[in-house]
Chains A and B, each alone.
Chain A
Amino acid sequence: MDDISYFKKILGERGVVQDEEKLDDANTDWMRKYKGSSKLMLQPRTTEEVSQILKYCNSRCLAVVPQGGNTGLVGGSVPVFDELGWIYLFHIPKFLHFMCIFSIFGCHCRICFWCRFIMPLDLGAKGSCQIGGNVSTNAGGLRLIRYGSLHGSVLGLEAVLANGTVLDMLASLRKDNTGYDLKHLFIGSEGSLGIVTKVSILTPPKLSSVNLAFLACEDYASCQKLLLEAKRKLGEILSAFEFLDVNAMNLVLKHLDGLRDPLSSMHNFYVLIETTGSMESHDKEKLEAFLLQSMDSGLVTDGVLAQDINQTSSFWHIREGVPEALMKAGAVYKYDLSLPPEKMYELVEEMRTRLGSAANVVAYGHLGDGNLHLNISAPQYTDSILSKIEPFVYEWTSKHRGSISAEHGLGLMKADKIHYSKSPESVQLMAEIKKLIDPNRILNPYKVLPSSVLSQS
């Protein structure tokens, strides 16, 4: 109990949580699939506190699991294999990421800031997730097609290493080629190399004209052609291109309250196309012309164009509500794959054949980025279903040179599967880096890299 008194000395009573209910919440992931048994949650409030605590934990070889908004989908943010409750949860409160936000010309006052600029990242978990978590998972989201990945928009960050060293990499420069760009090690490393405490991020100006169309396509080939056409004809104003199939649509309509089908009949595929620009009349004319052409050519069979912000949000709600609807439908096996767009739906169809009536195979995702969210929904988790999905899904993806984790990360779920996407040499180098930066392996153990590679010396 010495540890606890030390923590209380640094963090005060409020920063050391032992309340069972709070711990229970924090020990359970968003999907309610992974459960930890940590008996202690620490809530540091400043970089200095993070540093002091990590230094102490490192000296005593106490493991910690960084947790932000706990919306991660691969079991990365909960402690596991910890029957004794020795892994401490490290909850990073929201206000610690009192980020510096830069629009390249310097820091702005926060209030007027959000009227004029936006975050380059937007995702369905936005109500709960945190910037630190987003950066640590290198989250992709709905606007990646327009603003690119966080490897491009994060200009700098501050991270605390396992031994307590604070790395100040908080540059706000667009260009800086001095040596190895270390910040990239922390973007997407899921808390296994350090704790992200501050972020400076490039924020695009907020543009006034946003349009959203919700469209129906009869086959996957049409969705794909529509994407090519949209890139060509909407080019500079295209800001999102998302899709869901009829199974996803049915789930959303069944499980989420207050949603209605914008179209009068069901279709095999749905596509959302968003444009963002600076002149309403220009954008609307362009988008309408594009949509009418796509109807004429038969790529799109029906559709609606949002006329106000309320309609825009209800169309988005359908797409963003799929993960929640899946949760309500029962057990769900989630796969987040990068695949060449032309191959993407073949996998879904093969999976349907394999599983037959045992499960509902649901597909949606960021089609514009070649990112498929393949979800298999079943009444319960069973070994027989799992054995029909894995390793098939990983092998298939690997065979088509895709990635087994497009944006969610590896976490616990896929730590052992990294070799499906990365060569042994690359994995080996990752392990070397991990051992160099966190030799006692106190940061997020069992996640990201296979234990087998780490234990080789």
Chain B
Amino acid sequence: MKIMVAIKRVIDYAVKIRVKPDKSGVETSNVKMSMNPFCEIALEEALRIKESGGASEVVAVSMGPAQCVDTLRTGLAMGADRAIHVDYPGSLYPLSIAKILKALVEAEKPSLLLLGKQAIDDDCNQTGQMVAGLLKWPQGTFASKVVLDEEKQVATVDREVDGGLETVCLELPAVITTDLRLNQPRYATLPNIMKAKSKVIKKVTPQDLNVEIRSDLEVVQVTEPPKRKAGVIVSSIDELIDKLKNEAHVI
């Protein structure tokens, strides 16, 4: 069985985001880029399934500009067997990604497609759901536990829903998107970085896959969250109550 994992290159989780002065987007030049943390978790899960004998190959895929290769290298150094880079320099939104993924799935025929539940840059939380729809595959989103039964060809997924857990059973092939608590991703060790050097990263374009990228939405503007106003120190309980009542209107 083969597992395909989609990984996205995003601004590093720990970087303080700055919006471009013209509000067209966020500053990405000279900013540290890394693998989206949820994608890292998806990849880790795929590797664990493979290591426990549940899969024979893990293929990492990423879409975007040339530098995505660096992110794929990280994926290979973590243990993915090979990688596919869909080279596209422009903006890509979830529906286009889902269409590309569908084409890749049709070519590669994995039994499981793993994705992060969302990318921390655009917070869309749509790609997994869309590709499942396009493929007409069942989906287990926000997974916090995945158990695979290869014989019966089903995956049991614990989903993190508001206020608890939902357990669903999916027939394979299926799409699973991963939540934060699913696992703790491994580090890229030197022996694995060394091995990764000889692993293949195949480059394709959306045209090669017969996917037409149409921009179906346009980002009008990006703005920073409003700055918090500085606090004030009140001199008495009465003043506090007065402010809560007449300024904050909360009591």
Query: Which residues of A approach B to under 8 Å, CB–CB?
Result: 208, 210, 213, 215, 260, 262-264, 280-281, 284, 288, 291-292, 295, 300, 302-311, 313
Is A295 a contact of B12 with CB atoms below 8 Å?
Answer: no
**Are B189 and A309 in contact, with the CB atoms below 8 A?**
no
Q: Taking A262-B187, A288-B193 as contacts, is the C-beta distance between A307 and B32 under 8 angstroms?
A: no
- Tell me the chain B residues, 36-86 only, with Cβ under 8 Å from chain A: 37, 70, 74, 77
Q: Which residue in A213, A292, A309 is a CB contact (below 8 Å) of B14?
A: A309
14 further A-B pairs in the complex, CB-CB below 8 A; given A284-B70, A288-B193 = A208-B30, A208-B31, A210-B32, A215-B190, A262-B187, A291-B193, A292-B194, A302-B189, A303-B190, A304-B187, A304-B189, A304-B190, A308-B34, A310-B12
Do B188 and A304 touch across chains, with their CB atoms under 8 A apart?
Answer: yes
| Interface CB pairs A-B, < 8 A, 30 | A208-B31, A210-B32, A260-B184, A263-B189, A288-B193, A291-B193, A292-B190, A292-B193, A292-B194, A295-B190, A295-B194, A300-B190, A304-B187, A304-B190, A305-B187, A305-B190, A306-B187, A307-B34, A307-B35, A307-B74, A307-B77, A307-B188, A308-B12, A308-B14, A308-B35, A309-B12, A309-B14, A310-B37, A311-B187, A313-B14
Which residues 161-214 of B have a CB within 8 angstroms of A? 184, 187-191, 193-194
CB–CB A310/B14 < 8 A: yes
Q: How far is the CB of B72 from chain A (nearest CB, A)?
A: 12
CB distance from B199 to the nearest CB of A (A): 14
Q: Check B190–A308 contact: CB distance below 8 A.
A: no
Output the residue of A210, A262, A281, A303 with the most chain B CB within 10 A.
Answer: A303
Evaluate whether A302 and B190 lie within 8 angstroms (CB atoms) in the complex, with A309-B15, A310-B14 already known: yes
Contact at B31–A309, with CB atoms within 8 Å? no
Q: Residues of A contacting B37 with CB < 8 Å?
A: 310
| Minimal Cβ-Cβ distance residue in B for A306 | B187
A313 (CB) vs chain B CBs: closest residue: B14
In the assembly, what is the distance between CA of A260 and CA of B215, in Å?
A: 44
Kindly list chain A residues whose C-beta atoms are within 8 Å of the C-beta of B14.
308-310, 313
B75 to chain A, nearest CB (A): 10
Q: Which residues of B contact A262 (CB under 8 A)?
A: 187
Question: Which residue in chain B gives the minimum CB-CB distance to A311?
Answer: B187
Instruction: Name the distance in Å between B237's Cβ and chain A's nearest Cβ.
Output: 22
Please give the distance in Å from B189's CB to the nearest CB on chain A. 5
CB neighbours of A313 from chain B (8 A): 14
| A298 CB, min distance to chain B CBs, angstroms | 12
Whether A305 touches B13, Cβ cut-off 8 Å, given contacts A208-B31, A208-B32, A292-B194, is no
CA gap between A313 and B32 in the complex, in Å: 14
Cα A263 to Cα B189 in complex, Å, equals 8
Distance of A305 Cα from B191 Cα, bound (Å): 11
User: Which of B31, B189, B191 has the most A CB atoms < 10 Å from its CB?
Assistant: B189
B32 A309 Cβ-Cβ under 8 A:
yes
Residues in A neighbouring B15, C-beta threshold 8 A: 309
Docked CA distance A395–B77 (Å): 49
Interface string of B10-23 (1 = CB under 8 A from A): 00111100000000
A305 and B188 in contact, given A292-B193, A310-B14 (Cβ under 8 angstroms)? yes
- Chain B residues contacting A303 (CB-CB under 8 Å) are 189-190
Closest to A291 in B: B190
